[in-house]
Amino acid sequence: MFKYDKKLQYPIDIKNKDLKMAKYIITQFGGSNGELSASLRYFSQKFSMPTEEGKALLNDIATEELSHQEMVATMVNQLISGASVKELENAGLSGQYAEHGYGLFPNDVNGVPWNASYIANVGDPIANLMEDMAAEQKARVTYEHLIDLAKDEDVIQPLLFLRQREVVHFNRFKELYEKYTKEGYK
C-alpha cells in the first residue's frame, strides 16, 4: 500500500545552525496543527468516507502529511546539527535535550507532547471534511508565522513549499466537501 522513495518531497539543505528556529519549527512535528496530527486525522477519517474517491483522497493526503513530517524533522535536525548542550539550553531546548538528547520527539514549540485529542474524527464525512479544511488553514497560518520568523533562505524555501501544499490540500478537501454536499451525504 505504501511506497517509500527514500528522498524528501522537497530538498532540504540548511547550512547554518539556528536553534531558536528549530524550536519554532518543531511545533509542526508534534503540535496540534502539525503534520503528525494531520496524517493521523486523515488516515483515521478515511474509513468513514462514503465513497472510494473520498477514502483515496484522505489516504493520499495522510501519506503526504507523513512525508511533510519527515521534512520538518530533517529541518530541525539540520538546524541543531553540531549544537552544544549550552547552545540548546540558551535556545530554550534544555527540556527537549533532558528527555530526548538530540533525538526528535513530537511536541509543540512550548514542549507540550503530542496528544491524540488533536485528531478530530466524528464519523460524519461532512463534519470531518469541514474539520480538515480548518486544519489545513491552521497549518497554512502556522507555516506563514514560521516564514515570518525565518531569516535563512535555506529554511524559508522548504517552509514556502509546505505552506503551498496546505493550500492544495485545503482545495482538494473543499472539492470533495462540495461534491458530498451536492450529492446529499451526511
Q: Where are the domains of the chain?
A: 19-183
CA gyration radius for the chain?
A: 17
CB 93 within 8 A of CB 85: no
Grid cell 480538515 is found at 132
Residue with cell 530526548: 100
Average pLDDT over residues 89-113: 93
Burial status of residue 26 (CB atoms within 10 A of its CB: 0-12, 13-18, 19 or more): buried
Report CA-CA distances (Å) from 54 to 9, 131, 182.
23, 15, 14
- What confidence tier does 31 reach under pLDDT thresholds 50, 70, 90? very high
* 119-127, long-range: CB < 8 A, 24+ apart: 119/37, 119/40, 119/41, 119/44, 120/41, 121/41, 121/44, 121/45, 121/48, 123/48, 124/48, 124/186, 125/48, 125/49, 125/50, 125/54, 125/180, 125/185, 125/186, 126/177, 126/180, 126/181, 126/185, 126/186
- Please give the grid coordinates belonging to residue 105: 520527539
pLDDT, mean of residues 39-56 = 97
The reported pLDDT for the residue numbered 1 is 59
Q: What is the mean pLDDT of residues 62-78?
A: 97
pTM: predicted TM-score of the whole model, two decimal places: 0.95
d(CA 126, CA 186): 6
The Cα 166–Cα 11 span in angstroms is: 18
What pLDDT score does 36 carry? 97
Residue-level pLDDT at 57: 98
Q: What is the CATH number assigned to the segment(s) 19-183?
A: 1.20.1260.10
Q: Compute the average pLDDT of residues 125-145.
A: 98
Looking at every residue in the chain, the average pLDDT score rounds to 95
83: pLDDT strictly greater than 70: yes
